[in-house]
Amino acid sequence: MVGIVLISHSSGLAAEVAALARQIGGARVPLAAAGGTDDGGLGTSPDQVAAAIKDVDRGDGVVLIPDLGSSVLTARLLESPGSVVIADVPFVEGAISAVVAAGGGASLDGVLAAAEEAWHVRKL
C-alpha cells in the first residue's frame, strides 16, 4: 500500500487533517503527520519528515502532501523520483483523496492522480 505523509507548519494541523483523512479514508492506510519544528513551534522539521517517510513506507512508494512555504521546500529536499513524490494539491482535500485512493489499493501514480483531482472538486 502507498504511504502518505502530511507535512504542515503546524503540528496540530497535520495531526487533525490526518485524523480526518483516516476517518473518511480508512484506518489501514499507512499515514503519518509531520508538523511543526522539533521543539513544538510553527515550522518544518526535516528530521520529523524523514522519520515519517520511513514509518509509512511499505515498499509501494510514499506521497508527500505539504501545506505551504517551508513544508514544500522540505518535501522537495526529501523527494526521490519514483518512490517518494510530492502531491501539489490543496492540503485537506488532497489528503483525503490520496488516503481514499491508497486505501483502495491504487499505485503511487494512482494515488498522486487521485490527490490532484482534488483541484477540481468544487464546494458549490
Instruction: Figure out which of the listed residues 23, 24, 28, 47 binds other proteins, where binding follows CB under 8 A.
Output: 47
Number of alpha helices (DSSP H) and beta strands (DSSP E) in the chain: 5, 4
9 is catalytic: yes
DSSP 42: S
Of the two residues 48 and 97, which places its CB atom closer to other proteins in the complex?
48
Q: Could you say whether residue 20 binds other proteins (CB under 8 A)?
A: no
Contact (CB, 8 A) for 85 and 64: yes
Residue type, 94: G
- Residue from 37, 90, 113, 117 touching other proteins (CB under 8 A): that is 37
Q: Which of 2, 5, 8, 9 is catalytic?
A: 9
Output 58 or 76, the one with its CB closest to other proteins.
Answer: 76
Q: Which amino acid is present at 74?
A: T
Whose CA is closest to 10, among 83, 97, 76, 69? 69
Residues contributing to the site for other proteins (CB under 8 A): 37-38, 41-47, 69-70, 73-74, 76-77
